[in-house]
Amino acid sequence: MGLENWLRFQRRLGAKGAPRPKKPALPPAPASERPTLAEIRQELGDCQRCKLARGRTHIVFGEGSPQARLMFLGEGPGEEEDLQGRPFVGPAGQLLNNLLHKLGLRREEVYIANVVKCRPPRNRDPEPDEVAACLPFLLKQIDSIQPLVIVTLGRPATQNLLKTEAPLGKIRGIWQKYKNIKVMPTFHPSYLLRSPRERHKTWEDMQQVMEYLAAHETD
């Protein structure tokens, strides 16, 4: 009896722990059928879908190339981002800019976004109801851009995108997958500002990302 038949047989018996076959990830819809970033922004409108709307100055939709091969994902806007309506423009953004510069990348050629688009009070983590309201728009942005790699910055971004409760310390620097897109979890720049001795780990994570991108130059 082959392995797959054996697993099917076990499931028929009601055996616990026999894993179901994974559904193959559906290929992305052709570009012409995917909504553009402008259409997604229009659909978001003057969003009041969660309580974060009450305290915001600006919606921080995300910015960068609509054809980016590399996307960075944080958890939510901070004070400066809320004021300017742009992601990663405060001190953490400066560190991200430095990292991009050292890697030979420009901000305009990557895409930068957050799990929630309005600033959580006192920069707390986004709450589950806020993530539930906002994440669908981020997922549409990802579907529209179809990056080769998403780098998740910090625990909330990593856990919310990957739908995992695994601690960041367990999966940081280890390739993950969202649909057909490779995901590299790493530290949030805010954390690296507080813990500069950890910066080399994010640098090493980014070396993996750059190697992957280089190996898929023509994809």
Q: Is 37 in the site for ligand SF4 (CB under 6 A)?
A: no
Burial per residue of 79-99, b for 16 or more beta-carbon CB atoms within 10 angstroms, e otherwise: ebbbeebbbbbbebbebbbeb
Tokens matching residue 112: 């930068």
Q: Is 47 in the site for ligand SF4 (CB under 6 A)?
A: yes
Question: DSSP of 189-218, one letter per residue?
Answer: HHHHHH-GGGHHHHHHHHHHHHHHHHHTTT
Q: Is 49 in the site for ligand SF4 (CB under 6 A)?
A: yes
Give the residue among 147, 195, 203 at the shortest CA–CA distance from 173: 203
Q: Which of 92, 95, 100, 134 binds ligand SF4 (CB under 6 A)?
A: 134
Residue among 46 and 217 whose Cβ is closer to ligand SF4: 46
CB of 93 to ligand SF4, least distance (A): 19
d(CA 10, CA 84): 57
Q: Is 139 in the site for ligand SF4 (CB under 6 A)?
A: no
Q: Is 117 in the site for ligand SF4 (CB under 6 A)?
A: yes
Q: Which helix (H) or strand (E) holds 72?
A: strand 70-74
Q: Which of 130, 152, 190, 205 binds ligand SF4 (CB under 6 A)?
A: 130
CB of 48 to ligand SF4, least distance (A): 6
d(CA 130, CA 116): 7
Q: Is 86 in the site for ligand SF4 (CB under 6 A)?
A: no
Residue 148 in contact with residue 75, Cβ under 8 Å? no
Q: Which stretch binds ligand SF4 (CB under 6 A): 16-24, 67-75, 130-138, 164-172?
A: 130-138
- Per-residue string for binding with ligand SF4, 51-80, x by CB under 6 A? -xx-----x---------------------
Question: What residues numbered 177-216 form the site for ligand SF4, per CB under 6 A?
Answer: none
Residue 26 one-letter amino acid: L
DSSP three-state, residue 40: helix
Residue among 49 and 199 whose Cβ is closer to ligand SF4: 49
Applying CB under 6 A, the site for ligand SF4 has a residue count of 14
DSSP three-state, residue 152: strand
For binding to ligand SF4 (CB under 6 A), which residues are involved? 44, 47-50, 52-53, 59, 116-118, 130, 133-134
